[in-house]
Amino acid sequence: MEISGKWVLAIIGLLVLVIIGLLVVVFMPNGPSEDTTRYNAPAENDVTTQTESSAAASYKSQPTDSQSTDTETSAIRQSASAAASKQQSSSDTIYQVGDEVVVGDITYIIDDAYLTNTVGGFEPFLETADGVYVVIYAIIENSAIGSSNRLFVGPDIISLVDSNGKEYDVDIAATSMGKSIYSAELIPLYTVEGELIYDVPIGESYCVKVTDGKRRGEERYIMIGST
């Protein structure tokens, strides 16, 4: 049976279409899709959370004022028994910050002690230490009754002493920036309390010397620490 030329052409054309269709199906690229592995845009809430977390981590890495103060207070309260022991003459007791110390008719409590480089807050009301400031908060009571001896807060009754025996008086300019009790009168049966600030060299051990206010009278030493 003979196949006419028209049928041959029709069959060839059909095969060509089938082949073209197969090629299209195999090689046609897929539709565009977002590369989520390379970039995932965070949701708005996620951005806020990440920002807050970063800020919190940054804050925790920075020392706070209270931490700074705690560090300074800890430093000044370190052992300085050499200073106190060297100066101790009238008593075997070496007193500590917070102890009640009775010398004659006067009772002393060094309630706090710490180091700082500046006092006064901000310019022009700012004093800077040549070395470092030792700030002590003292409570002083005169229990004498009917005494005619007038006593004032100053080097005659309280001073700072280093391990070599050198005595330091208060830095008046620095002390005036706080709650100063320098030169306050110790009236009988009266208590004064406040700050005394000393500008001292760094690298020494210090103690507070307190007396009964009498010439060649009693003395006691309260261990403060090292700068």
* pLDDT score, position 175: 95
Q: List beta partners, residue 227.
A: none
* pLDDT score, position 91: 55
How many Å apart are CA 159 and CA 153, to the nearest integer? 10
Q: List beta partners, residue 210.
A: 158, 220
Domain residue ranges in the chain: 79-226
* pLDDT score, position 84: 54
* pLDDT score, position 30: 52
User: Domain 79-226's class?
Assistant: mainly beta
Give 10-residue mean pLDDT values along the chain (227 residues).
65 78 63 40 41 35 44 47 51 86 96 94 86 97 79 94 94 94 92 96 95 89 91
200, with CB counted inside 10 A (0-12, 13-18, 19+), is buried
